[in-house]
Structure 1
């Protein structure tokens, strides 16, 4: 009789370990899929940036520092290989892209250029998609990290080497401030 009870407890423990492990694997795969989806939108944005830079170059030839900073930030973000590096590079790219669009305020002909307006609208649409994919990614990461840290799943996670995933956050204080709109 006691043998059956012990066997039953062992079977329940094995089933719990299998279930917890499979749940962690499922969430890890969802995190990777969410990051990959976000990466597709980021790649589209990276492909759009050189066209934008070339358009601005025609109007703002003496703004080479800003244009070079945009190109370098884009290349840095494009070559980032880990989620942490990608997050850091993306924050830098967002900052210099703001400077690029600020240039258009100084050049009325550029603001009126249909190619520039079209590229700006495409970028705006992509930014919306990127924001949505970041939101989804952060939601899945929150779920994964929560499951990773709660008892008793944390025991299984530690046993099999699961680690926390980074959230996609804005690190730059300037980006956290309200946008000033003037008419």
Structure 2
């Protein structure tokens, strides 16, 4: 009788340790997942700032030069895709497309001295440059948190618990294909 109580107590302790371990792992995964989601929200707020600045910049530049309609069309298309994006992957793709179109606009602006001297354009360009820097910093932070989350998700024995609990890897924010090549503008 005395020995059976020891066995029962041992089993209860073992079960309690397993439950605490599973609970701790689950809570850690939830915390890391929420950190990634919160950082993605920061990235989206910076993307929204860019999205809001672009129409003002485009209108200022349009008033000075009408011959670059293709660049403005690409920006408008990219903004529309950004507004319609629902998933993280769609937002990343739309953001990359918008970034490429903005790059072409910046190249065009470099070739027009009257644009560079326009006060409105300069102010908006400074705001946009600051926003682009903030986006870059927040993307880096997002990717760092995704790396930590995904690493936590994939390490043993957490990967077993994560699989049972339905946790999935988060996507990285990656550069668009061809982003390493500077845009070219022909006149």
TM-score range, shorter chain: over 0.9
Q: Is 1:32 aligned to 2:41, yes or no?
A: no
Question: Partners of 1:13 and 1:86 in 2: how far apart?
Answer: 40
Q: Which residue is equivalent to 1:118?
A: 123
Q: Which TM-score applies when normalising by structure 2?
A: 0.91
* CA displacement, residues 106-137 of structure 1 (integer Å, 9 cap, x when unaligned): 32211111110100000011111111111111
Q: Which residue is equivalent to 1:98?
A: 103
Q: Is the 8 A contact 1:145 1:165 kept in 2?
A: yes
Question: Partners of 1:171 and 1:129 in 2: how far apart?
Answer: 18
Q: Is 1:156 aligned to 2:161, yes or no?
A: yes
Q: Is the 8 A contact 1:27 1:144 kept in 2?
A: yes
CA shift, 1:171, in A, is 2.8
Rg (Cα) greater in structure:
2
Listed as ranges, the gaps of 5+ residues in structure 2 are 1-5
Q: Which residue is equivalent to 2:171?
A: 166
Question: Partners of 2:155 and 2:110 in 1: how far apart?
Answer: 51
Question: Partners of 2:137 and 2:96 in 1: how far apart?
Answer: 16
CA shift, 1:20, in A, is 0.4
Q: Which residue is equivalent to 1:70?
A: 75
Q: Which residue is equivalent to 1:128?
A: 133
RMSD: 1.4
Q: How many residues align?
A: 178
Question: Partners of 1:156 and 1:85 in 2: how far apart?
Answer: 29
CA shift, 1:12, in A, is 0.4
1:16-31 equivalent positions in 2, closer than 5 A = 16-31=21-36
Question: Partners of 2:176 and 2:8 in 1: how far apart?
Answer: 57
